[in-house]
Each structure stands twice: as structure tokens, then as C-alpha cells.
Amino acid sequence: MKRILILDTETSNLPDNINLSEEELSNIGVKDNNDVPLAYQLSYLFDNGQKRFFADCIGKPILPISIASSEITHVTNKDIEELTLKEDGSYLKLTENKEFKDLVNLVETVNNEEIYLVGHNVKYDIEIMRREGLDLSKCKAIDTLQLARFLDKESESHRLTYLLYAKEDVLNATRELVQLDQIKNVAKIQPMSAHNSLFDVVSTNYLLTHYRDRLLEMNKDLTLDTVYEELHKISTTPFLIEEVPFGGSKGKLIKELNENEILWIYKMDIDEMNFRYSLEERMNDFGGLEAIIKKMSNFDIEKILSSNPEYFKLEELKVKLNEELNSRSGGIVTLGFGKYKDVNIQEVKHDYLIWLRDNNSGNPNTLKKVETELKRRSEGELSKSIEDEKPKIDAIENSQTLLEDFLND
């Protein structure tokens, strides 16, 4: 029996923004920042061909909802408190909801591998649910984001909201369904719109149907019984792309990247499988990553190890690099909020700056700082950030990579 579970969550913060102290972690009962629960809304649609139902639940998150999250979802901490306040004055947790417990029972009573788990960037929701104590990693993932990248390569964007408005059939169907009692009676947050997880489940459902029907038209050998396995295969198989999709090299043909650009981008550890796959294919044109590193190396590692032992002590190296960053920048620029508040912007992780640039619409001063720093990094004036240099530092201790950018200065 085919079982389809379409799921979405809304969170108080992004996982990469969580950096609590040991005391703060202890106060909320977890040992690691990677395990801090973040979800305040969970919605899903379950369909096994015989039974089909929607579910939605709200819980007060451990951490307050960030302003950045509220800006996107229009949901505030006060909203959540009003929705989750219990008679005894405490607040309902997400995991205490009947809908959450029903989902746990549903997953535990069937073989996970018999469930097609559908979401837009579904690996994100798998991670969020793991933090809430529910392991969905063994389900067969169908990612409508990857389907969009594969079947709508020419689209300007593959964000769920963009695709919703780009496909009139999906938009109209979503708008009609969310007005029906079967949805309105389930919804905990009204009115429903994009970035409400129940609304996103409804739109993901229709987006899935759209791409399913596209595949059935493209491949006449597929049937309604076999097409979901093909959707799963596409969702989990990387394909070659032609252009760099981000950063200072955005739009540049991957086949034209040189060795230095490849190393620079590869160190960023971008978690997008099509790009990583395409970049690794380009590396093979130069004999692979190891060959590129050897070619780019113009110094004797053994000589450096013997004459500069201080370079291989991580903390000393961080201090030296920090001094170099500050001397080149002409002063220290900091962010005024969040995980990296009052931290030298040159120490901020690259992916976080990218996220700030793409999601910051209310503070032109912050946006200017971020764009200036990203421009500086893209122009190759110096290494991305101290935090991002840690893998390189660790690697050179094992004589595997280079530090030529600042060893040769």
C-alpha cells in the first residue's frame, strides 16, 4: 500500500543560528546546539489511498521566535502564547499535541520505507523533526524543490511561493482548498498564507501533483503505481548544472572555473547536491581535488612544518589570521544582533552572510555591511572567515591542504 506524507514546519530560528552556552543548553535539557528543538508549527497531509486527512498543531518553542522569522511568517511570540496557553498557566509544547502524537504513532506502526515523505526542501523538515524526537530519515524522500530544479530548470526561482504564483493551476487549487471547511477547521493560525505550514502543505500537495502529471506525460511507461518511485529517484539523485548559482561567481559557467576558483568555492561547503556534484565533475577535468591542491601548492609542506611550528597550533593561527583580517580591513565591523552579535563580521560564516543578504529587508545598514563583506570575499582579497578557515587549518596539520593565502604574505 502506497503511503504519502506531505509535511512542513515553521521554526523559531534557523538551525545555523543556534549557539547557546553549556549553561543555556542545560537549562533547556539538551546537550548540543544541534539538538535544540525549534519548531512551533507542524502540519501534514497523510494519504494511503483509503484514508486522507490534514493535521495542524502549534506549540510554544523553547527559544523565542526571532524577528527574522516573524518578518517572514508574520507570527509573533505573543501570537503563539495566546494559542498555547493552558488553564494552569503553562504553555502547550508542540510534542504534547494530539496531532504530533498521532504522527509518531503513524510512523512507528508502519515501515518507514513504505512512506513517501514529501516536502519542499524536505531534508530541512527531517532535521527539524529529528530535533523534536521523531526520526523520518528512513522514509522515501520526495523533494518538490529538487523536482522543480530538475523539471523547471529555466525558472528564475525554485522557492515554493514563487512556483505557486508561477503555476496558475497550483495557485488556484491551493486557494480553493484552504477555503474548505476540512482545512479551515483544522488550521490553528488564521488567515492562512504562504509560510504558514498548513498552507505550505496544501500548496506542496498540488505542486507534487503537478510534477507527477508532468512525469506521466514525459514517460508513458510510468503509471500511478510507479511514478512515485521515480519522483523519489529524481529527488535523491544529483544532476549536472551549467552555472554557479550563488555568490560573486553567480552565473559563471562551471566548466570555465579555474583551479583557484574551484578550491575557493569548494571550501564553502555549500549543501546543494546538484552544485556539489557539478563542481566535483569539473574537478575531474583537472585530475580531482587532490591533484588541484598539489598543483596549487608552491611551498614545501615538510619545510613549513619544521620551520613554522606555530602555524599548526589552531588558536595561534586563528589569532594571526584575525590580526591579518583586521589590518586589511582598516578596522572591525560588527553585526548588532543575532548569533554573531558584536563579532567581527570577517569571522561570520559565509552561509550565514548569504542568508542575511537574501532575507534582510528591514535594515539597510546591516544589508550594506553584509554586501560589502561578501563583495570583499568574492574579490578574493583574503580568506572568507576565521570560522570557515578551521577545516583548512585542521587539514594542514595533517599535511593535506594549503595555507598559501596568508603564509606567503
| pLDDT at 264 exceeding the cut of 60 | yes
Q: Which region among 64-78, 238-252, 258-272, 393-407 has the lowest average model confidence (pLDDT)?
A: 393-407
Is the predicted pLDDT of residue 297 greater than 70, yes or no? no
What is the model's pLDDT at position 296? 62
Residue-wise pLDDT tens digits, 5-23: 999 999 988 777 788 888 8
Residue 158 and residue 245 in contact, taking contact as beta carbons nearer than 8 Å: no
Q: Which of 345-349, 382-386, 393-397 has the highest mean pLDDT?
A: 345-349
Beta strand 115-119 pairing with 39-47:
unpaired
Q: Which residue has the higher pLDDT, 393 or 222?
A: 222
Query: Is a pLDDT exceeding 60 seen at residue 24?
Result: yes
pLDDT class of 249 with cuts at 50, 70, 90: confident
- Cα gap 389→385, rounded to integer Å: 6
Q: Is the pLDDT reported for residue 113 higher than 50?
A: yes
Three cell numbers, residue 80: 503563539
pLDDT, tens only, 149-174: 999 998 989 999 899 889 988 888 88
The DSSP string of 116-151 is EEEETTHHHHHHHHHHTT---TTSEEEEHHHHHHHH
pLDDT of residue 403: 37
- Looking at residue 40, its pLDDT comes to 95
**Domain at 3-236, CATH homologous superfamily:** Ribonuclease H-like superfamily/Ribonuclease H (3.30.420.10)
Band of pLDDT at residue 315, cut at 50, 70 and 90: very low
Query: What pLDDT band is residue 302 in, cutting at 50, 70 and 90?
Result: very low
Q: Distance (Å, rounded) from C-alpha 10 to C-alpha 12? A: 7
Inter-residue contact 251 to 257 (CB < 8 Å): no
pLDDT at residue 288 is higher than 90: no
Long-range contacts of 194-197 (CB under 8 A, 24+ apart): 194/160, 194/161, 194/164, 195/10, 195/72, 195/73, 195/74, 195/161, 196/10, 196/41, 196/43, 196/73, 196/75, 197/8, 197/9, 197/10, 197/41, 197/42, 197/43, 197/56
Residues of the chain with CATH 3.30.420.10: 3-236
Q: What DSSP element (H or E) covers 251?
A: none
Confidence of residue 365 (pLDDT cuts 50, 70, 90): low
pLDDT at residue 145 above 50?
Answer: yes
- 36-92 pLDDT, tens digit per residue, is 888 999 999 999 888 899 999 999 998 899 888 888 888 999 999 999 999 999 999
Q: Which of 100-104, 231-235, 249-253, 292-296 has the lowest mean pLDDT?
A: 292-296
Q: How confident is the model at residue 268 (pLDDT cuts 50, 70, 90)?
A: low
